[in-house]
Each structure stands twice: as C-alpha cells, then as structure tokens.
C-alpha cells in the first residue's frame, strides 16, 4: 500500500512550524479582536447591480483595548437612477473612511498645469483608500453647513476612465488596481453623470505618492507617519502567515487518514485577510445554517450550469451532497457527499468556518486500488475545475456577508509519488510525478476573486500540471493564458 506522508503544507521543518504556530496563534488573537459582525438575516443571491464596501462606523472595547468593528457594507449602485435616488434620499448622510464624494474631477477649461495638479490629488485619494478599500464618487455637491449631498452631474468625456486607471498605475507606488465606472445620465445623451471609482483593498498597502504614504481616517485623507507605515507592513506580514496553518488544519480534518488511504486527496483552503469571529456563522453554526449553505451552493451550481460555458464529464463540486455536519477541531459547518461513513476514492466535502476560512477535501483526486501501486493516475482536470469552483463559491460567500477584501488561497495534494496524468495514460510521456505532495498558495483581491477565478486557478496549479506534462490545459478555455 502506498505510504502517504503527514501533511507538510507549510514546507517547513517540524520545529519551525511549531514556533510559527505559537507566533501565529498570538497574531490571530490580536487580529481577530479587530473585527466582527453578524451576517445579514436574509440574503438575495441574485447578481448585484452595485459594488459594496465595509464601513467602520462603531468602535468597541475588546480585551481592554479599542478595536474597530467591521459593520455591514452599504450598497453603491452602478445605475444612474439608483445612485441618484440614494444621494437625494440621504442614504449617505456623512462621508466615511470608505467613501468620498467629489463635485468634479478635471476642470472643463483647465490648462495642463491644473490637470496635473488634479491628477496628483486623485492619486493621493486613491492611495489613501487602498488600505481598507473604498469609493470616490464624482458628480456630487456637498452642503457643508447642512451636511447634505446633492446631485451635480459632471461631464463624462471619452477616455475618462482610462485616464483614472493611468493615474493609479503611474503616479502611485506600488501601482494600484482600481475600477473606474462611468454612470451616465440617459437624459443627457450619456454626456454627463457620475464617475464611480472603486478602490479594492490592496494586498500591497500602504501606497505612496509624492514620496508620502497615505491612509484614511473617518474624516478624510491623512499622511502616515513612519511608525504607522511600519505597523501596517508588519500586520500584512502576519496575515500572510495564517495560510500555512489553515492549510494544515484542512488536511487534519480529512475523514480518511493513515492506512485507509491509497489515492491522492485534494485540499483547497481560502482565508480572508480581514475576518471577524462570526463572519460565516450564518452558514455554519447549526443545522439550519448549514441548510442555508446547501441552498447557496445549489444556487451557484445552477448559475454555473445556466452559463453553459463548462464542458466537463463530471458535476461541479457544488452539488451531490447527502448530509451536513459540524466539527469542533475547526469550528465549521460541512456538506458531505456520502450519507454514512466516508469511503476512499469517492466523494468530497465542503467546509465553511464560523470566522471565515472556506475548505474543500476531495477524496478522489486520484484513482487506484489497494495496495496502491506506483502507477496510480491523477485526474488533474478534475482538480483544476474544482479549484475554480471553490474560488467562485468563496467569492459568492464573501459577497453574501459584504466582505470585499483580500483572500489567501492555498491548494495541497498528497499521495502523488509515481502518479501519472490520466490524460497521458494511453501513450507518450507518462508524466509521472516525482514528489510525494504538491503545495501552492497565492493572494487575490476581492475583485480578482469575482472576475478572475481562472487566472487564480492557473497560478495555483500551473507547476503541478507542468510536472505531469499537461500544462497545455491552462491554454485552453476557460482558463486561457496566465
């Protein structure tokens, strides 16, 4: 029987992993104390016609220290009628760290010097919002005495959104990815309206422009001192340390371990960089919540099927479930495809933790039979599509709880030594794998999670496919090119 090594997702020696675990435990306690909110009582799973971002409106005390509480996001409509109604109806009575209203961007008759000054101000505003993410909305006038906002449409010349994108790339260090959207007024022939600039939470924050790092307070843009910049960089490094720990946890809750194993298992783990204690409790805490998760997966599976873009000989990883359960080793709710006990080489299970991580354990990534000869095959096409399905599920769940932030995503496969690709088992290069396992991780923004699932999947699995001689799969639809 093939011998499977213990899960080494971190790639570190045991003693190093133990010390890292202790440090990480302290970091988790400190970080999780900084955020928390309940998911909405009811959710609409229709594709939203708006962008959303969190607000940090409340501050509570936790462990005798002030801690920012992440409260549910407000909707930012991307249609003219809805956005105008929200502004005129007082939906946004006060600006916050995540939203800033502006009357105009570039002056209509300004010279080159004036435009350059405006571009620099735009760069500072975008850099300041990159730490937590937010919006700049142009075409809105503020009455500072009454603290109210009214619509004051701005011209929308051709190429305006390209200009904003160029400012984010060329005037900010590191370059920033933003999403400018023109929201024209149909009554003006689409010549005037709003400009909405979405600034996703950046994995590279803090950002600099004019040799100055910028951040955001509840009252607007602020310069960051050296000590603030250092704290942000250290916090970013600590967030990255959580992924190896959670990848190990996914493998440790595999229902089949030890001598009962003879085929490769595939593990997927996604971890939010800014979680809160009850982030996904509405999908995990009890039987009713797990039923809600089951319905959510079914809805997403139906959406994928309706798109009709996938041609694969197996169902998505989002269906076929027979029961739900709760685990305590990781505080999560699970959907199993087996009705009783798990069986080697059959089925999979999806888990969602109370505080954010999303997991998949696939018991049939490879094929074979006891005692597991070295000529077992790996179904890498199955792994490829299931990783993409899980990225889509993670994006959907993040939208449900109004979390637009970044994610750490890792994949791990064990029992690979001697495995060959199923796509090359009839001749040619057998593409046998020469290591016992495969581990890979990456970071993705919320925007990438929603719109670039194939690209993220390619980053995670390219080296595995290259080792099996099947990297060509990533050049074919729907994955295209990296």
For residue range 209-249, list pLDDT tens digits in order: 989 998 888 777 889 988 888 888 777 777 778 899 999 99
- Is 38 a domain residue? no
Residue 22's pLDDT band (cuts 50, 70, 90): very low
Tell me the mean pLDDT in the region 354-360: 97
- Is 106 a domain residue? yes
- Is 262 a domain residue? yes
State the Cα–Cα distance between residues 73 and 50, nearest whole angstrom.
11
Same structural domain for residues 255 and 114?
no
Domain of 96: which CATH number? 3.30.950.30
Same structural domain for residues 220 and 328?
no
Same structural domain for residues 169 and 279?
no
Contact between 37 and 70 under an 8 Å Cβ cutoff? The reply is: yes
CB atoms within 10 A of CB 18: 11
* Token pair recorded at residue 367: 């094929």
State the Cα–Cα distance between residues 65 and 56, nearest whole angstrom.
16
Residue 192's pLDDT band (cuts 50, 70, 90): very high
Last residue of a domain, one of 196, 230, 264: 230
State the Cα–Cα distance between residues 284 and 312, nearest whole angstrom.
30
- Is 2 a domain residue? no
In the chain, how many domains are there? 2
C-alpha closest to that of 249 among 327, 158, 139, 189: 327
State yes or no: pLDDT of 299 exceeds 80.
yes
CB atoms within 10 A of CB 60: 10
Same structural domain for residues 273 and 326?
yes
State yes or no: pLDDT of 457 exceeds 50.
yes
Contact between 213 and 202 under an 8 Å Cβ cutoff? The reply is: no
Last residue of a domain, one of 164, 195, 230: 230
State the Cα–Cα distance between residues 281 and 286, nearest whole angstrom.
9
- Is 457 a domain residue? yes
* Segments forming the whole domain that contains residue 91: 78-230
Same structural domain for residues 202 and 348?
no
Same structural domain for residues 90 and 216?
yes
How high is the pLDDT of residue 146? 79
Same structural domain for residues 306 and 447?
yes
C-alpha closest to that of 326 among 367, 288, 375: 288
Same structural domain for residues 290 and 391?
yes
Place of tokens 């350059």: 116
Contact between 56 and 219 under an 8 Å Cβ cutoff? The reply is: no
Q: Annotate 133-188 with DSSP letters as a single string.
A: -EEEEESEEEETTTTEEEE--EE--TTHHHHHHHHHHHSSBS----EEEEEE-GGG
Same structural domain for residues 221 and 275?
no
Residue 424 exposure: Cα atoms within 13 Å on the Cβ side: 21
Last residue of a domain, one of 206, 230, 254: 230
State the Cα–Cα distance between residues 327 and 253, nearest whole angstrom.
9
Q: Is 356 helix (H, G, I), strand (E, B) or coil?
A: coil
Same structural domain for residues 368 and 247?
yes
State yes or no: pLDDT of 57 exceeds 60.
no
State yes or no: pLDDT of 432 exceeds 90.
no
- Is 236 a domain residue? no
State the Cα–Cα distance between residues 454 and 470, nearest whole angstrom.
16
Q: Annotate 357-421 with DSSP letters as a single string.
A: -EEEEETTSEE--TT--TT-EE-HHHHHHHHHHHHHHHHHHHHHTT--S-EEEEEEE---TT-EE
How high is the pLDDT of residue 110? 67
Which of 163-172, 201-210, 266-275, 351-360 is predicted with the least confidence, judged by mean pLDDT?
Answer: 201-210
Crossing angle of the two packed helices 380-400 and 287-307, in degrees rounded to 10: 120
Contact between 327 and 335 under an 8 Å Cβ cutoff? The reply is: no
CA angle 16, 18, 20 (to 5 degrees): 70
pLDDT one-digit tens code per residue, 326-340: 999 999 999 999 999
Q: Which helix (H) or strand (E) holds 31?
A: helix 14-32
Higher pLDDT, 269 or 379: 269
- Is 144 a domain residue? yes
Task: Using CA atoms of 148, 151, 155, 159 in order, give the dihedral in degrees to the nearest 10.
Answer: 80
- Is 20 a domain residue? yes
pTM of the model: 0.71
Higher pLDDT, 185 or 219: 185
Q: Annotate 78-102 with DSSP letters as a single string.
A: -SHHHHHHHHHTTS--S-BTTEEEE
Q: Which helix (H) or strand (E) holds 197?
A: strand 192-199
How high is the pLDDT of residue 311? 61
Same structural domain for residues 329 and 469?
yes
How high is the pLDDT of residue 372? 53
Same structural domain for residues 171 and 317?
no
State the Cα–Cα distance between residues 247 and 239, nearest whole angstrom.
14
């Amino acid at each position: 029987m093939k011998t499977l090594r213990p899960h080494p997702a971190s790639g570190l020696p045991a003693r190093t992993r133990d010390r890292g675990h202790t440090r990480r435990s302290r970091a988790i306690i400190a970080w999780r104390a900084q955020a928390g909110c309940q998911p909405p009582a009811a959710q609409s799973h229709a594709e939203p016609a708006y962008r959303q971002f969190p607000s940090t409106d409340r501050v509570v005390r936790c462990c005798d220290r002030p801690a920012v509480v992440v409260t549910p996001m407000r909707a930012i409509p991307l249609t003219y009628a809805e956005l105008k109604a929200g502004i005129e109806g007082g939906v946004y009575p006060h600006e916050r760290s995540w939203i800033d209203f502006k009357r105009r961007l570039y002056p209509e008759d300004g010279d080159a010097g004036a435009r350059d000054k405006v571009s620099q101000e735009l760069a500072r505003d975008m850099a300041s919002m990159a730490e937590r993410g937010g919006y700049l909305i142009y075409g809105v006038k503020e009455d500072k005495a009454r603290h109210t906002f009214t619509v004051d449409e701005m011209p929308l010349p051709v190429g305006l959104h390209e200009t904003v994108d160029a400012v984010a790339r060329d005037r900010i260090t590191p370059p920033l990815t933003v999403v400018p959207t023109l929201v024209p007024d149909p009554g003006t022939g689409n010549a005037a309206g709003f400009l909405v600039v979405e600034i996703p939470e950046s994995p590279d924050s803090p950002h600099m422009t004019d040799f100055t790092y910028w951040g955001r307070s509840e009252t607007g843009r602020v310069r960051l001192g050296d000590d603030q910049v250092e704290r942000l960089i250290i916090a970013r490094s600590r967030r990255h340390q959580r992924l190896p720990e959670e990848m190990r946890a996914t493998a440790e809750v595999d229902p089949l371990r030890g001598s009962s194993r003879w085929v490769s298992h595939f593990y997927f783990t996604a971890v939010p960089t800014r979680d809160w204690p009850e982030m996904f409790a509405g999908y995990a805490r009890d039987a009713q919540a797990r039923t809600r998760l089951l319905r959510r997966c079914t809805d997403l599976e139906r959406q994928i099927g309706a798109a009709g873009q996938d041609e694969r000989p197996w169902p998505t990883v989002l269906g076929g479930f027979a029961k739900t359960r709760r685990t305590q080793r990781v505080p999560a709710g699970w959907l199993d495809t087996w009705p009783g006990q798990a069986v080697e080489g059959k089925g999979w299970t999806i888990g969602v933790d109370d505080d954010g991580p999303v997991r998949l354990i696939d018991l049939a990534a490879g094929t074979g039979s006891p005692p597991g000869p070295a000529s077992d095959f790996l179904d890498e096409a199955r792994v490829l599509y299931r990783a993409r399905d899980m990225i889509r599920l993670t994006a959907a769940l993040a939208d449900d709880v109004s979390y637009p932030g970044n994610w750490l995503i890792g994949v791990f496969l064990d029992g690979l030594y001697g495995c060959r690709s199923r796509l090359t088992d009839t001749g040619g290069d057998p593409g046998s794998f020469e290591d016992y396992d495969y581990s890979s991780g990456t970071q993705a923004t919320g925007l990438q999670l929603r719109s670039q699932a194939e690209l993220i999947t390619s980053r995670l699995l390219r080296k595995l496919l290259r080792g099996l001689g099947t990297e060509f799969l990533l050049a074919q639809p729907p994955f295209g090119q990296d």
